[in-house]
Amino acid sequence: MRSTASSARFHSERRNGELTAERLGQIWLEVQHESLGPAIDIKAATNRSGLYRALHSFAVLRLRLRVRDCLVNSLYAVYEKAHEGFAERYLAMLAAGGTKHHAELLKPFGLDARDPAFWQGGLSVIEGMIAELEGIG
């Protein structure tokens, strides 16, 4: 999730010498765990041995996109509850670009990615879409 944090850690440790694929994978997993906490079992969600060999592989990209999709869905769940000032907070988040940690970006919405309930909000959006589609059929 935090590719900038991972990159910064890679470069910081690289100053002390060459990094093995295993160490790159460990750094990536550490950053993911710091960012997501116990809400997502990142080790279970990735093939660890494959991660070390192909850190920037399609599988890792797909995992990142899935996490980001769920994050967006969780934000949408907040929007659906029509919290006042959502649009302003959302525009401020977008204006920040990649300059802030996601925890800081989510704080104005009262969200914490380390809380499993945060992710449940995103999953409930998908459940609603499935129920709507089942109702059409």
What does the pLDDT look like over 81-120, one tens digit per residue?
876 889 999 999 999 887 888 889 899 988 898 898 888 8
Q: Is the pLDDT of residue 1 over 50?
A: no
Residues 23 and 18: their CA atoms lie apart, in Å, by: 10
pTM of the full predicted structure?
0.55
Predicted confidence band of residue 2 (pLDDT cuts 50, 70, 90): very low
Per-residue pLDDT, 23: 82
Record the tokens describing residue 132, joined without a space: 């709507």
**Over the stretch 22-76, which tens digit does the pLDDT of each residue have?**
787 788 788 878 877 777 766 665 555 554 444 545 556 666 777 788 888 889 8
Percent of the chain scoring above 70 in pLDDT? 77
Residue 13 contacts residue 27 (beta carbons within 8 Å)? yes
What is the pLDDT, as a whole number, of residue 22?
79
- Enumerate the H helices of 2-115 as residue ranges: 3-14, 21-36, 42-45, 48-53, 58-80, 86-96, 102-106
The distance of Cα 83 from the centroid of its chain, to the nearest Å, equals 22
